[in-house]
Amino acid sequence: MHLILSLILVVCLSYEVLAAPSGLLRPVRKSRSFRVERVKRSNYVRDGSTAIRKAYRKYGISASQMDGGGMDDFEPFFGGFGGFGGNGHQSSSTSSSSSDSSTDSDQEGTVTATSVEGGSEFVSPVVIGGQNITLDFDTGSADMWVMNTLLSSSATKGHETYDPEKSSTFQYVNGEFDISYGDSSSAAGYLGQDTVNIGGAIVKNQVFGLPVEVSSEFIEDTSSNGLVGLSFSSLNSFEPGPQKTFFDNIAAELEEPVFTARLRSDGVGEYGFGKIDHSLYTGIMANISIDSSAGFWQFDSTQYAVGSGATREITNVTAAIADTGTTLLLLSPDVVEVYYEAVKGSSYSSSVGGYIYPCSVDLPNLTLGMGSSFKAVVPGSVLEYAEVGTNKTSGETMCYGGVQSCSGSDFQIFGDMFLRSYYVVFDKRGPSLGVATHT
């Protein structure tokens, strides 16, 4: 009797296997997701002219392309716009340790990130060949490069540096890189590859730049030691041809081919890779089509409204990109002009390269169209950037606005001042951008 029952069970199990869809017979690949947490620095100084110089340098916008005019009775706290050099207020950062020893494909890791200049720049510890180096996460570029020991000691003073001789997994790659910006700032050098670990996710043989020459702008910016580009690999500027970004290299191993940004106005937040965490946002997530032909996370932004005012059409620059590597919200000049017309006492100041206003005035909300139908509302309180100087006539303290002009650029730049209002999903499928109010 037991033998008969056993035979019947074997037959039934065989039938289930034969009848199962072929997809169920394939081995199931382990997936992984990981996150990079961000914490607020205690020793930062916000400076609007520094933030806008950095953005203009990145996108090749010169000072001559900006709006003219300014307040004659305004005295900036710091050195003012005056070109693109550093202002000496950056502070060096420290990183937490992580390990390259584990290669378990479903490992989740968490590392800290540090807010510099009160939200103007966010840096995270990245492990390269076992060495901890604090880098920027930048969706506005596709290059990865790092300050290193091939540079002179004077160039690396105050920086964390990567030493290829201390890594057993480092190799040089046949090629070079030469990055130049509109103000003649630059970085140039060799290419190398090594094991890169971000939050426990590991890419072996990740290609990155090893500059042997950097301009003074990068030397003075001791808050960061290079960057991890997270735009599309087609934008990569390495020679003799584009190299894959960290995200493109790791995407196939992730649970979902996405990374997310939850950048909060208090300086605390996180980047996530491999998973859309539905607990981190409320309501319905808008899905915005991305045009990746230029290598950016680019979308249409054709309408806006100031406060409770009527919706208006944007008349100048209607393309936009999402850029975690830019602090400010840089919009079409017509939008910026109308916005500050609604701010009592505001004025453009050439001495600090942007619009300023009395700090006692509350900024209005700003509604921005994204894609075909979504309207993102950015609270005015989020758009208050930093105290910048004093009106010498009235004695009022003046503030630098988080909304400034993208004049001279081919697209509007939705930087951290926008991104920190939303949970944003950068999705390779489509590709698309998911936007929802974060919790």
Residues belonging to the active site: 138, 323
Q: Are 41 and 267 in contact (CB under 8 A)?
A: yes
Q: Give the C-alpha separation, 54 to 333, whole Å.
A: 19
- List, as one string, the DSSP characters of 314-364: --S--EEEE-TT--SEEE-HHHHHHHHHTSTT-EEETTTTEEEEETTSPPP
- Beta strands 34-40 and 110-111 are parallel
How many whole angstroms separate alpha carbon 387 and alpha carbon 358? 9
d(CA 190, CA 170): 13
How many other C-beta atoms are found inside a 10 Å radius of the C-beta of residue 113? 28
Q: Which residues of 360-388 are buried (b: 16+ CB within 10 A; e: fewer)?
A: eeebbbbbbbbbeebebebebebbbbbbb
Q: Give dist(CA 429, CA 251) in Å, integer.
A: 11
Distances (CA, A) of 37 to 34, 46, 50, 264: 10, 21, 25, 11
86 alpha carbon, distance to own chain's centre: 20
Residues 6+ apart with CB under 8 A from 432: 287, 288, 289, 290, 425
Helix or strand run (H / E) with residue 401: strand 397-401
